[in-house]
Amino acid sequence: MHEGSCHCGAVRMTLPSTPEVATACNCSKCRRIGGPWVYFEFGSVKIEADPESTAEYIWGDRTLRTIFCRTCGCVTHWEPLPPTPGRKHGVNLGNFDPKLIATVRVRRFDGADTWKFIDE
């Protein structure tokens, strides 16, 4: 099981499986947050946090909400809006063990412009 958390530990996440590929995106939001991102069906990642301990950021076409820790500021994940189980759900792999991150192939995605992978 892969468990991760924000820097202060207020938000804890457990992945349902081992990711093999992650995405590094250059859109206006992701280039600031970092990542890389791994994706799962919404509802399959165990997320433990006091609702008071997190805040959200919603922008643009309002198709997702980005969640971060109110204490340490780390962005942990994003959830689809509306929050429908099974929809795409992003987790910031930077909150996990560096040994896991090192095993994952990170692909560069041009979210800023073409919406295509730009690494091949």
Q: What is the dihedral of CA 110, 58, 44, 96, to 10 degrees?
A: 70
Query: Which of 15, 64, 69, 93 forms a contact with Zn ion (CB under 5 A)?
Result: 69
CA proximity to 63, closest of 86, 44, 84: 84
Task: Tell me how far, at minimum, the Cβ of 119 lies from Zn ion, in Å.
Answer: 31
| Eight-class DSSP state of 53 | G
By C-beta, is 15 or 69 nearer to Zn ion?
A: 69
Q: Establish if 10 lies at the interface with Zn ion (CB under 5 A).
A: yes
Residues 72-101 that bind Zn ion (CB under 5 A): 72
Structure tokens at 31: 């280039």
Distance of alpha carbon 110 from alpha carbon 34, whole angstroms = 14
State the number of binding residues for Zn ion (CB under 5 A): 6
CB atoms closer than 10 angstroms to residue 82: 8
Pick the closer one to Zn ion by CB: 6 or 38.
Answer: 6
- Residue 68 CB, shortest distance to Zn ion, in Å, is 8
Query: Does residue 6 touch Zn ion according to CB under 5 A?
Result: yes
Q: Is 55 in the site for Zn ion (CB under 5 A)?
A: no
Residues 113 and 97: their CA atoms lie apart, in Å, by 31
Q: Which residues bind Zn ion (CB under 5 A)?
A: 6, 8, 10, 69, 71-72
